Amino acid sequence: MSMKSSIAGKLEAAFSPERLEVINESHMHAGHQPGFDGEGETHMRIRIVSAAFAGMSRVARHRAINDVVKAELDAGLHALAVEAAAPGEPTRW
């Protein structure tokens, strides 16, 4: 199973989102580190809308998501961009 699929499954289970996108952005970071060619699954963006985030601060939302994907972070996920919202909140996507 890909890291992207693993992350999506865990987020679905934890937050029952009404919208979810997990985007592999690794290719956008090629050359940023010596020897990194942009291959693999090292840089991900999560876009998620879930009622579970209602009343939570932005920092609390990020911490909750980081807790869910801790195994992936420990396994080599280098960067994680999070765009989390509760239903009805504006998103840029």
Query: What structural domains and CATH numbers belong to the chain?
Result: 3-85 (3.30.300.90)
The set of residues, in sequence order, having a beta carbon less than 8 Å from that of 90 and lying 6+ positions away, is none
pLDDT at residue 9 tops 60: yes
pLDDT at residue 24 tops 60: yes
Q: What does the alpha-carbon distance between residue 7 and residue 10 come to, in Å, rounded to a whole number?
A: 5
Exposed/middle/buried for residue 13 (C-beta within 10 Å: 0-12, 13-18, 19+): exposed
Per-residue model confidence (pLDDT) at position 33: 54
Give the tokens for residue 58. Answer: 């932005």
Mean pLDDT, the chain, rounded, equals 87
Per-residue model confidence (pLDDT) at position 31: 46
Per-residue model confidence (pLDDT) at position 28: 56
Residues 29-66: pLDDT tens digits?
444 554 444 455 678 999 999 999 999 999 999 999 99
Contact status, residue 19 vs residue 48, Cβ threshold 8 Å: yes
